[in-house]
Structure 1
Amino acid sequence: MFSSILMVLLALCMLAAGILTLKRELTADPPVFTSEKEAKEEMLGLFQDRGFFYLTAIALFMQVVCKQANIAPFDFFQAFLASSGVQALFYLMKRKDLGVKTGLVVLVSFIFLFF
């Protein structure tokens, strides 16, 4: 029950962060690039994950270690939701503490696994 409530809260954080990002992108002026180098830097900025792949890997690692051979597709969903939800939560709070994010992903994954 507790993990279901946590899943809903993390999903709502992801939805709110997505809506804020979409709103910000729609109100911004389209970028104008004067050089190829500038365009390349902008493209690299788009793919900057801010630790998303590391957090997803940590959540998946916890699933694999704790469940060992009993991995189901829902476990991948939980790992993705844990990492994305924590990322969205920190995005909404406008903080970038990767260490705290990592600890929170471990805690959320632990809750998903055992509660």
Structure 2
Amino acid sequence: MLKAIILLILGLSALAAGFLTLKRELSVESVSISSADEAKSEMKNIFNDHGWFYLSGVALFMQIVFQGFHFTFEYFFYAFLISSGIQSLFHLFNKKELGYQVCTVIVVSFLVIYL
């Protein structure tokens, strides 16, 4: 039961962060790019994932280690939900420390598996 509550909170936080980001992007005026340097910096901002792939990898590794090495596709679901949820929670609270995010992903992965 606690596992479902944790996953629900993580899913709702990812949804809330997505809506807030969409609202922020729609309210900002369009960007006019006049030089190559501005274009490069804009592309870096677009493709900056703020460590999402790194967190997903850590969460997937923790799923494999904690649940055993017999691999199922359920591991992907939990890993993506945990990494996206944790990253969105940190995004909602305007915290960008990747080290804290990794520690939180490890703890939440442990809680989801053993609860």
How does the TM-score come out when normalised to structure 2? 0.94
* 1:112 to 2:112 alignment: yes
The CA distance in 2 between the partners of 1:70 and 1:55, in whole Å, is: 21
**Corresponding residue of 2:59:** 59
1:66 Cα deviation (Å)? 2.4
The CA distance in 1 between the partners of 2:84 and 2:32, in whole Å, is: 30
The SS at the match of 2:33 is coil
- Count of paired positions: 115
How does the TM-score come out when normalised to structure 1? 0.94
**Corresponding residue of 2:103:** 103
The SS at the match of 2:30 is coil
* 1:43 to 2:63 alignment: no
CA contact (8 A) 2:52 2:84 kept: yes
1:67 Cα deviation (Å)? 2.7
Which 4+ runs in 1 deviate beyond 4 A? none
Unaligned runs of 5+ in 2: none
Identity, % of aligned positions: 45
1:53 Cα deviation (Å)? 1.3
Unaligned runs of 5+ in 1: none
The CA distance in 2 between the partners of 1:37 and 1:72, in whole Å, is: 44
**Corresponding residue of 2:28:** 28
**Corresponding residue of 1:2:** 2
RMSD: 1.1
Structure 2 residue identity aligned to 1:13: S
Task: After superposition, give the CA deviation of every residue in 1:3-33 in whole Å (9 maximum; x if it has no partner).
Answer: 1100000011011101100100111001000
**Corresponding residue of 2:12:** 12
1:83 Cα deviation (Å)? 0.5
CA contact (8 A) 2:11 2:81 kept: yes
1:49 Cα deviation (Å)? 1.6
Task: After superposition, give the CA deviation of every residue in 1:20-66 in whole Å (9 maximum; x if it has no partner).
Answer: 00100111001000012211210111111211111111111111222
1:72 Cα deviation (Å)? 1.5
